[in-house]
Amino acid sequence: MNLHLFLVFAHIVGVVLGTGGATFAEIFYLKAKRDGVFEPLEVDYLKTSYFVLRVGLFIIVLSGFGLLVLLRLNEFGDPLLGVKLWAKLLIVLIIVLNAFLIQARKMPMWLGSSLSLTSWYTATILGLWRGIPYSFGQIIIFYLLSVMVVAYVLHIIDKRILKSVTIKK
């Protein structure tokens, strides 16, 4: 296994952990919210999901920069200035900023959850997609629209869960 392959593998592992972690964090959050009380075990599951997510982010960023260095050393600069890379970088920055704002209690969870989920999945799709035919602006507009759609979908799911709990009571 050469260095490039190792870094790509590490990057994919990071994506799996990060996107998976974000998905399960959201699932556990919605489940924990059902009765309005966050039990210690539920908090523990959430903390574990966030930890896995952060490990994923760490691996992604380190392996990602490793790949960028390889491009530099091989004098292959086009991807370094490409739309796809900079869109992914911006989205990773949004993930990090979102984490800070959530920790500082400055981000409402309905938006924070949507930003987190949409960002992780958008970055994953961008990573998988070869030859993206859109400009940076188009990608970001689509991303922002997706954030709103996901926020609405999570709101619907949340209301249905609340409704089912209310009916059972």
**Three-class DSSP category at 109:** helix
Closer to other proteins by Cβ: residue 1 or 81: 81
- Classify residue 75 as left (phi > 0), alpha (psi -120 to 50) or beta: left
Q: How far is the CB of 73 from other proteins (least distance, A)?
A: 5
Closer to other proteins by Cβ: residue 100 or 129: 100
Interacting residues toward other proteins by CB under 8 A: 58, 61-62, 65-66, 68-69, 71-73, 75-78, 80-81, 85, 89, 93, 96, 99-100, 103-104
Q: Are 147 and 118 in contact (CB under 8 A)?
A: yes
Closer to other proteins by Cβ: residue 67 or 162: 67
Closer to other proteins by Cβ: residue 58 or 110: 58
Q: Residue 50 CB: number of other CB atoms within 10 A? A: 19
Q: Which residues contact 29 (CB under 8 A, 6 or more apart)?
A: 46, 109, 113
